[in-house]
Structure 1
Amino acid sequence: MMSLKVWKYVLSILILFGIISLLYNIAIGKNWNYNTVSVLDEVQTWSRSSRLSERLLTFQQYHTYCPHLAKPLSLEDEVEERKLLNSIIWPQLPSGSAPPSLLQTSDPVHSRFTIVTSKIKPSWYVGDQLEVQIQLRDFKGQPKRYGGDLLLARLHSPKYEAGVAGQVLDHENGLYTVRFPLLWEGSAQVDVMMVHSSEAIAVLRRLRDHRLDRVRFTSTFRQGDQSEKMMCHICLPPEPGPICNFTDVRTGEPWYCYKPKMLSCDTRYNHAMGGYAIDLLTDEETLLFQNGKNVKVPIQASTMDTINVLPSSKGTANLPTDTSAFYFLIHIIVLVINVDKGSQKPDPVKLATSGYYYQGSWRPLDGVPMGQFNDSSAITQCLTNKSVYLYGDSTMRQWYEYFSSMLPDLKKFYLGKPIKLGPFLAVDTKHNMLLWYRIHGPPMRTQWVMSNDLRYIANELDGLTGSRDTVVALSIWAHFTTLPVEVYINRLRDIRKAVVRLLNRAPGTLVVIRTANPQSLEQDVSLYNSDWFSLQQDMVLRAMFKGLNVRFVDAWQMVVAHHEPHNLHPLRPIVKTMVDMMLSYICPHRSSNNVGI
Structure 2
Amino acid sequence: MKISITMSLNFWKYILIILSLYGLIFLLINITLWKSWKNHLVSALYKDQNGIQSSNLSETHQAFHHKRTPYCPHLAQPLSPEEELEERNLLDLIAWPKPPSGSESLYLSQTSDPVHSRFTIVNDKNWSVGDQLEVQVQLRDFKGRPKRYGGDLLLARLHSPQYRAGVAGQVLDLKNGIYYARFSLLWEGSAQVDVVMVHSSEAVAVLQRLREKRFDRVYFSSIFGQGNHFEKTICNMCLPPDQEPLCNFTDHRTGEPWYCYKPKMLSCDARNNHAMGGYTKDIITKEEALLFQSGKNIKVAIRASSTDNINVLALTKEAASRRREPVKLATSGYYYQDLWRPLGGISMRHFDKAFAITLCLNNKSVYMYGDSTMRQWFEYLHSVLPDLRQVTLNPKPVGPFMAVDSKHNILLKYRFHGPPIRITPVMTSELRYIANELDGLTGGPDTVVALSVWAHFSTFPVEVYINRLRQIRKAVVRLLDRAPGTVVVIRTPNPQALERDVSLYNSDWFSLQQDTVLRAMFEGLNVRFVDAWQMVVAHHKPHNVHPPRAIVKNMVDMMLSYICPDLTGNQSRQ
Fold agreement, TM-score > 0.5: yes
Rounded to whole Å, the distance in 1 between the matches of 2:567 and 2:355 is: 12
Rounded to whole Å, the distance in 2 between the matches of 1:98 and 1:355 is: 39
* CA positional deviation for 1:212: 1.2
Amino acid at match of 2:89: K
Rounded to whole Å, the distance in 1 between the matches of 2:61 and 2:195 is: 25
Q: Within the alignment, does 1:363 sit opposite 2:341 as a pair?
A: yes
2:350 is matched with: 372
Indicate if the aligned counterparts of 2:292 and 2:499 stay in contact, CA closer than 8 A. Answer: no
Amino acid at match of 1:506: A
Rounded to whole Å, the distance in 2 between the matches of 1:48 and 1:428 is: 50
Rounded to whole Å, the distance in 1 between the matches of 2:134 and 2:365 is: 45
* CA positional deviation for 1:272: 0.4
Question: RMSD over aligned Cα, in angstroms?
Answer: 2.1
2:132 is matched with: 129
1:445 is matched with: 422
* CA positional deviation for 1:98: 5.2
2:316 is matched with: 313
Q: Within the alignment, does 1:518 sit opposite 2:495 as a pair?
A: yes
* CA positional deviation for 1:48: 4.8
Q: Deviations over 1:482-504 (max 9, x none)?
A: 00000000000000000000000
2:79 is matched with: 73
Residue of 363, 370, 379 corresponding to 1:401? 379
Rounded to whole Å, the distance in 2 between the matches of 1:116 and 1:176 is: 12
Rounded to whole Å, the distance in 2 between the matches of 1:387 and 1:77 is: 33
Rounded to whole Å, the distance in 1 between the matches of 2:568 and 2:223 is: 49
Alignment of structure 1 residues 174-573 onto 2, 5 Å: 174-315=177-318, 317=320, 352-415=330-393, 417-573=394-550
* CA positional deviation for 1:224: 1.0
SS at match of 1:525: helix
Rounded to whole Å, the distance in 2 between the matches of 1:244 and 1:512 is: 36
Q: Deviations over 1:4-25 (max 9, x none)?
A: xxxxxxxxxxxxxxxxxxxxxx
Alignment of structure 1 residues 576-595 onto 2, 5 Å: 576-589=553-566, 593-594=570-571
Rounded to whole Å, the distance in 2 between the matches of 1:502 and 1:301 is: 50
Indicate if the aligned counterparts of 1:147 and 1:198 stay in contact, CA closer than 8 A. Answer: yes
Rounded to whole Å, the distance in 1 between the matches of 2:368 and 2:322 is: 39
Rounded to whole Å, the distance in 1 between the matches of 2:499 and 2:54 is: 33
* CA positional deviation for 1:190: 0.3
Distance 1:115 1:210, change over 3 A: same
1:95 is matched with: 101
Alignment of structure 1 residues 56-67 onto 2, 5 Å: 56=65, 59-63=66-70, 65-67=71-73
* CA positional deviation for 1:99: 1.8
Indicate if the aligned counterparts of 1:215 and 1:276 stay in contact, CA closer than 8 A. Answer: yes
Distance 1:88 1:125, change over 3 A: same
Rounded to whole Å, the distance in 1 between the matches of 2:238 and 2:321 is: 55
Indicate if the aligned counterparts of 1:149 and 1:197 stay in contact, CA closer than 8 A. Answer: yes
Rounded to whole Å, the distance in 2 between the matches of 1:581 and 1:86 is: 31
SS at match of 2:349: coil
Alignment of structure 1 residues 161-176 onto 2, 5 Å: 161-176=164-179
Amino acid at match of 2:141: D
SS at match of 1:461: helix
Distance 1:186 1:389, change over 3 A: same
Amino acid at match of 2:331: T
Gaps of 5+ in 2: 1-50
Indicate if the aligned counterparts of 2:119 and 2:138 stay in contact, CA closer than 8 A. Answer: yes
Rounded to whole Å, the distance in 2 between the matches of 1:47 and 1:134 is: 16
* CA positional deviation for 1:240: 1.3
Distance 1:534 1:461, change over 3 A: same
SS at match of 1:155: strand
Rounded to whole Å, the distance in 2 between the matches of 1:110 and 1:147 is: 16
Distance 1:139 1:307, change over 3 A: same
Amino acid at match of 2:432: R
Indicate if the aligned counterparts of 2:224 and 2:270 stay in contact, CA closer than 8 A. Answer: yes
* CA positional deviation for 1:215: 0.6
Amino acid at match of 1:364: P
SS at match of 2:544: coil
Amino acid at match of 2:243: P
Indicate if the aligned counterparts of 1:114 and 1:134 stay in contact, CA closer than 8 A. Answer: yes
Rounded to whole Å, the distance in 1 between the matches of 2:245 and 2:356 is: 56
Rounded to whole Å, the distance in 2 between the matches of 1:517 and 1:491 is: 19
Q: Which has the larger radius of gyration?
A: 2
Rounded to whole Å, the distance in 2 between the matches of 1:524 and 1:531 is: 13
Rounded to whole Å, the distance in 2 between the matches of 1:280 and 1:198 is: 19
1:11 is matched with: none
- TM-score of the two chains, using structure 2 as the length reference: 0.87
Indicate if the aligned counterparts of 1:165 and 1:180 stay in contact, CA closer than 8 A. Answer: yes
Gaps of 5+ in 1: 1-37, 331-349
Rounded to whole Å, the distance in 2 between the matches of 1:261 and 1:40 is: 50
Rounded to whole Å, the distance in 2 between the matches of 1:567 and 1:511 is: 25
Q: Deviations over 1:122-144 (max 9, x none)?
A: 21000100000000000000000
Rounded to whole Å, the distance in 1 between the matches of 2:501 and 2:277 is: 17
2:121 is matched with: 115
* CA positional deviation for 1:315: 3.8
Q: Deviations over 1:281-324 (max 9, x none)?
A: 1111111111000000000000000000001133465799xx9x
- TM-score of the two chains, using structure 1 as the length reference: 0.84
1:7 is matched with: none
Indicate if the aligned counterparts of 1:372 and 1:591 stay in contact, CA closer than 8 A. Answer: no
Rounded to whole Å, the distance in 2 between the matches of 1:458 and 1:293 is: 42
Distance 1:48 1:152, change over 3 A: closer
Rounded to whole Å, the distance in 2 between the matches of 1:263 and 1:154 is: 56
1:156 is matched with: 159
Indicate if the aligned counterparts of 1:371 and 1:592 stay in contact, CA closer than 8 A. Answer: no
Indicate if the aligned counterparts of 1:389 and 1:435 stay in contact, CA closer than 8 A. Answer: yes
Distance 1:254 1:578, change over 3 A: same
Amino acid at match of 1:447: T
* CA positional deviation for 1:523: 3.6
SS at match of 2:511: helix
Indicate if the aligned counterparts of 1:126 and 1:313 stay in contact, CA closer than 8 A. Answer: no
* CA positional deviation for 1:70: 1.2
* CA positional deviation for 1:41: 9.4
Amino acid at match of 1:503: L
Q: Identity of aligned pairs, percent? A: 69
1:24 is matched with: none
Distance 1:209 1:387, change over 3 A: same
Rounded to whole Å, the distance in 2 between the matches of 1:231 and 1:499 is: 32
* CA positional deviation for 1:419: 2.3
Rounded to whole Å, the distance in 2 between the matches of 1:251 and 1:318 is: 56
Indicate if the aligned counterparts of 2:349 and 2:566 stay in contact, CA closer than 8 A. Answer: no
